[in-house]
Every structure is written in structure tokens, then in C-alpha cells.
Structure 1
Amino acid sequence: MSGSVLDTLAGFDKQAALDAGIEPGKVRDWAKLYDVYVAPTTAHRQQARAVDLVRRGTFSLDQLALIERRLDAVGARERTRTRLDVLEELAAARPGSYQSFARMLKRLVPVEQVAPSDGASFSRSRMGKRTVTVTADERDIADLEHAVTRGIDPDRPAGPQLAANFVRIMRGDGSQAGVPCAAPQPLVLVPAPELAKVLNDEADPNEVRFGLTDGTTITGAEYLARYFSNPAYGVRVAVFHAEDGAVNLYRGERCANEKQRVLARAANPVCPVPDCRHGADSCEAHHIVAWKHGGETNMRNLAMLCRYHNRTNDDDTHRKRRGRIENVRGAPTWVSPRGYAVPNNYHPYGAMQTLFGR
């Protein structure tokens, strides 16, 4: 980890390190160090000089990784020269602890302070709680702080009182309207007739027809009206097939209609990428086979993805960088670049899991 770090990096393989269970952030750091100190380069003299300084300074991998993270803020043209200057200074000074090393590095490579951008982020649920973080104009945040601190009891912990005042203001304190409470709308999930085959309904492209094993056919509407539907219930009913999932409407328009969005949200209540916590209500309708590649706007080809994963999905099947969403037996599922299907168990209550146990 110190004197022989460059010998260790000589045999570095990123994928092998990931497969060995090494923390991905550390693997990325080591891959960057490999590119700087070991990988073939046209700047032979500069690389040899850097290697010599590393050996003289007996830096650890973590120290070298910290240097590279600090150099990210330096322009590409100046980075090599700055790296050599920093290594020479640190090799001569030999700071003891990692903290001393970091403090000296901070003086050697000052980074211009950049004002944070406005933004907001929301955490995943944890035991019924969530956290929101907001960055905005200091005057607006100061006004909010003043509002939530008014009237708190100084003899009691401030945190719970601030949270309670924030929620009260958010919901409306009587003088003005606040954020409305969500009103869940019930959706009855009904499995399609056993052994039925899903067919196109040529008379109505918005309908689905089942081919039954007795040789007859029946539309989804007829099936529900005969066996399940009752207007007095005041609920909506959705049919899911054990293999095809929810099926409706074939290629007619790019944007999913409201009926498709309801069924898609039932199929995956959260973005299907593993550990993503974004609920389907705030997600975008995604074409599993990209629209530009002829993908149809039907239920088998739709999934609800959060804004980020909808843009990082590998739409081109030959590009295997970030993984892609595929329809696995009726359920939108993330498939890794190496071909492994991994469900998102953050919210395991999608229609296919609820009805068919997967």
C-alpha cells in the first residue's frame, strides 16, 4: 500500500477489481492512477519523472488518489506540470499522517471556490421518514429559517420543533394554501384468464383480446364486465397477463396515453433500476426498445424511469456501458452491461410480483 504501490498497479485490471468485491469508488481511483503512472503514454519523460518521485516519496495509493482528485480542478494542459511540482514538494516534505498530507496538498493546489447552484434533492424513505435538502438564494433560506424558528421552546430540542413548523408552513397555516396531501386512487389488479393468449383486437387498437383454451376469444372489457367489474365500487381495474404483463394500444403516437401510464405505474411503482427510490408518479414513460429504433408505444414496450436513468439507459443494444431496461416476463427489469437481470427490491410491490410472485 506504500512503497510498492506502482508495482501493485502494474497488474491492475478494473473489471477484475470490481469482480473481487473492491469498493467501486476505490476502483475508479486506482484506474485513474494506472492511466497516469503505468499505462502507455507519449509523454515518456514526464511519466518517468512522476514515477521516480512517487518511489522517493513512498506515497500510498490513497495519497496518490487524493492528488488526482485535487488535480481535477486544474486545466488539462497544466495538469502534468502541476502534478510533478506537487509530487516534488510532497516527496521532500514527507508529511506524516493522511490529514497532514491533505492539508499541505490543499495549499499546493488551491481550488477556486464556485458558488453552489440552486437545487433540491429528496432522500429515499427510511422507517417512514425522508430528508429534503434545498440550496437557494440566501435571503430566501434566511426567511425560511426565521419562519420555522419562531415560537420554539428554548428548553426543548430545537430539531423536532423546526421540523414540525416546517411541515405546518408547507401544508398551509390557515393564512395561505399549502402543498396538498396526496390522494391515492385504488387500482384493482386482476390476473388474465389462465392459459389465455394475448391477441391484437383489430376492431379496436385500444383494446386487448384474449384467446381462450376453449377456442373462443373475449375482450378485456368483456372479461372484466363478466367477472370483476362493478361501477358501484368506484375503483379502476387493470388486467395483467402472466407472461406479457399489461397489454394495450399499439404504435400510434410516441407519448404514452393516460391509460398506459396508469398500467405502467402499476407494473413498476418505482424506477426499476436497482436501489433507485424515485416513485413512478414522478417518472417518465420510457420506450424499452427506443422509439428511434422502431419501438412501439404499447404496454410491453413501456416502463416508468426516473429522469436520470431515462437518459443514461443504453438505448442502443450494442452499447453496454450503463445497463438497460428490458421486459423480463412482463416486468420492466434492469439488465447489467454483462447481461444480468437485477430487480429493484426497494419497493417490491409491482403488479407482476403481487399477482404472480415475481
Structure 2
Amino acid sequence: MDKYEEFMALTSQTIGILKDMPKRSPYDMASDGMARKTAKSFTTLADALFGPTDSPRLQRESVALAEDRGLSLEYLEMVEKHAKKLQKRDVRLGRVVDGLRTISITDTQRRITDLEKTLDAAVENDNDRPRSEALLEPFWDLVESTGTGLIRPEYRTVIAIGLDDFAKVSCGKGEDVVVALSDGTTMTGAEFINAAMEGSLGDKLYVGLFHPTAGPVNLYEARFASDKLRTLAMAENLVCPWPDCNVPADRCQVHHIDAHKHGGYTKPSNLTMLCKYHNGVNDDDGPRKKRKRPSPGKPKRGRMRRHRGKVRLHTPGGKLVENTHHVSSMGAMDLI
């Protein structure tokens, strides 16, 4: 058998390879020389085929069929891609990119077409702009005129700003200051002041104290995180700190870095924000004890760890990886 034949034989063993993927992190595989995109493809498929599921019987049948036919990684990726297109009706909100976000609505053809005709009626005589641009304002006019319109709540969202920048903004000299928020967005110094003047920041200003290496400083301890502790954790990590995650802290859960069941205290330095998914796959046991066998349907992906004051993912291979999301690098610990 020559090398090509060996390669083709290996591609037919994808299911066997994927069975071993849950015990590895894509970041460890990337450090071994595998392209990160390929590594993520492996772990995504491993999750779909061997991770938690609401349909274990269908999952078992899919694995058996793929193994019986010797399907390659590329083939399985294609199946997964087309399966995702069979979406239920939903509304999807994209991540922030250069100050812009995308909303996608999937519903019945009748409802979407009725919406399209409603918007078209408002731009019948607007031939100077592309149709997609001309529909934008009528869309927002329709949203804001329906019922109560858009909700504009006070900022319970956490705003992380350094002391020097706060002094500039307070004096009206912070035109170039950009601060980050725990809803995954950013705000200019001018917008910050305008929000304060309009009363959108509420009637109280909370100040969090952070140590360069210990992280948030507070002596309060309880089993469940108080509003004060949650606010400190959000100010430190404005988005979920798991690498490549873009879920804003506003929609995250408070997570004990050292698990409470192992004696981890509910104090600022032991808390962080994790999205629901990564809070679920985080390995709370970590290196503390060796399991006799892996927990069924719960892949080992590594665990969160505080290193030199900042929260990082400690991969199963021993590497510390940070989230590179642009808002993630603007939290309280990055301002000191």
C-alpha cells in the first residue's frame, strides 16, 4: 500500500477518529500542527455525533450509518452543513463587526413576503438607492411604531472604563475614548455622557476595585453570587472569556473558577462569566482528580483558570488560551 492508499484508508476511519476528539481541545490540536479551522471542524462534528443530545437513538443510528459507509470528514461536514439549513422558524442575531450587527429572520414564506410588501410600499418612489438600503428605515419605522416599539432600558449593562479615561470623559475631553459594555458593544465617550445626561445609566454609579494580579477585590462571600459580585465579574469579562465565543456578559451565567463542590469560594477572584454552553462543557473536576471513566455525553474541553490576574481557558493539553474578541480585550483587568 502506497502513501495515497494509506491516506484514503485513513479518511474512511473518520468516526473512529472523532470518538477520540472529545478528550482534546481544538487549541491543543492546533498547537500540534493541525489547522485551527480543521480542528474546530473535528470538535464540532464530535459534539454532534457523541455529545449531549435530545435524540440519542437518532444519534446512535447516524454514527452507525457513517461508520458502516466509511464516510470522510468532508462528507460529514457537508451533511452537517445541509442539515443546519433545515432551520426552524427563528430570529438570529449576529455578532458585532466594526460597529454593525446583522439580524436574520426565518419564517413561513407568506409572513416574510407580507413583510416585504409592507416595506416595499414605503419605498416605491425611492430609486436612487439600492433596494436593500432603501428598506432599512421603513423596517425600523415599522418596528418602532408597532405596539410599544423598542424597549430602551436603563443601563444595567456593565460599562468598563479606566480611571484616566473616566476623568477625560467627565471633563468633556473624551471624544476619542471608546469603552466596552457587557452587552458585547462599544460606546464612545460622547455617547457615555449623553446616556448619563438622559438618565439611562440609572441613579447610582458602582465602582469596582481590581488588583493587577488577584483580579476583582471584595471580601463578601456567599453560595450564590450577589448583584455586586455579578457586576464585578461582568466588568472584568464583558463577553464570555472562552476562546472564540462572542456571547456578551449580559447573557452569561456566573461561573465558579474553582468549583464550589471542591471548596471554591464565592468571591470576586473566583468568579467569571460564561455563556450557558461553555458553562456546561467546562470541566469542573479538572486535574483535581482522575475520573475512572469520562462522563457520558460531556466532552472534556478544558476549564477556566485565573492566571496572573486574568481568566483564561486551560486546555486539556496544558495551554492557556484567551478570547480574542475585540470587546474581550477591553474589560476592567485590561484597563489597569
- Tell me how many residue pairs correspond in the alignment: 251
- Residue number among 87, 92, 113 corresponding to 1:121 in the alignment: 92
Rg bigger for which structure? 1
Amino acid in structure 2 at the alignment position of 1:164: E
More moved, 1-10 vs 297-306: 1-10
Shift of 1:267: 0.8
Partner of 2:101: 130
Q: Distance in 1 between matches of 2:83 and 2:204?
A: 60
Partner of 1:262: 231
- Residue number among 323, 339, 346 corresponding to 2:318 in the alignment: 339
Q: Distance in 2 between matches of 1:186 and 1:281?
A: 11
Q: Distance in 2 between matches of 1:314 and 1:286?
A: 12
Q: CA offsets per residue over residues 130-174 of structure 1, 9 Å max, x none?
A: 11223345554344333333312462311112233223333x12x
Partner of 1:167: 140
Q: Distance in 2 between matches of 1:79 and 1:245?
A: 47
Matches within 5 A, 1:207-356: 235-254=205-224, 256-318=225-287, 321-346=300-325, 347=327, 348-355=329-336
Partner of 1:5: 7
Percent identity over paired residues: 30
Query: Relative to 1, partners in 2 of residues 1:140 and 1:323: Cα closer, same or farther, differing over 3 Å?
Result: farther
More moved, 13-22 vs 131-140: 13-22
Query: Relative to 1, partners in 2 of residues 1:166 and 1:324: Cα closer, same or farther, differing over 3 Å?
Result: farther
Matches within 5 A, 1:70-85: 75=62, 83=69
Q: Which has the higher contact order (CA 8 A, sep 6+)?
A: 2
Amino acid in structure 2 at the alignment position of 1:349: M
Shift of 1:27: 8.5
Retained in 2: the 8 A contact 1:189–1:239? no
SS at match of 1:266: helix
Q: CA offsets per residue over residues 212-270 of structure 1, 9 Å max, x none?
A: xxxxxxxxxxxxxxxxxxxxx9632221122222122544232x211111111111111
Shift of 1:329: 2.8
Q: Distance in 2 between matches of 1:261 and 1:285?
A: 7
Q: CA RMSD in A?
A: 4.4
Identify unmatched segments of 5+ residues in structure 2: 46-58, 165-202, 292-298
Retained in 1: the 8 A contact 2:210–2:216? yes
Query: Relative to 1, partners in 2 of residues 1:340 and 1:134: Cα closer, same or farther, differing over 3 Å?
Result: same
Q: Distance in 1 between matches of 2:106 and 2:66?
A: 31
Q: TM-score scaled by structure 1?
A: 0.56
Q: Distance in 2 between matches of 1:316 and 1:336?
A: 13
Q: Distance in 2 between matches of 1:343 and 1:7?
A: 37
Query: Relative to 1, partners in 2 of residues 1:188 and 1:80: Cα closer, same or farther, differing over 3 Å?
Result: closer
More moved, 19-28 vs 245-254: 19-28
SS at match of 1:176: coil
Q: Distance in 2 between matches of 1:157 and 1:352?
A: 44
Q: CA offsets per residue over residues 108-132 of structure 1, 9 Å max, x none?
A: xxx9999532433322211211112
Q: CA offsets per residue over residues 3-32 of structure 1, 9 Å max, x none?
A: 553466699998897422335437966xx9
Retained in 1: the 8 A contact 2:161–2:332? no
Retained in 2: the 8 A contact 1:326–1:335? yes
Partner of 1:22: 35
SS at match of 1:160: helix
Q: Distance in 2 between matches of 1:112 and 1:73?
A: 17
SS at match of 1:296: coil
Shift of 1:345: 2.8
Query: Relative to 1, partners in 2 of residues 1:241 and 1:74: Cα closer, same or farther, differing over 3 Å?
Result: closer
Retained in 1: the 8 A contact 2:281–2:300? no
Shift of 1:307: 1.9
Q: Distance in 1 between matches of 2:210 and 2:108?
A: 48
Q: Distance in 2 between matches of 1:257 and 1:112?
A: 42
Q: Distance in 1 between matches of 2:13 and 2:235?
A: 48
Identify unmatched segments of 5+ residues in structure 1: 33-71, 88-100, 192-232
Amino acid in structure 1 at the alignment position of 2:237: N
SS at match of 2:135: helix
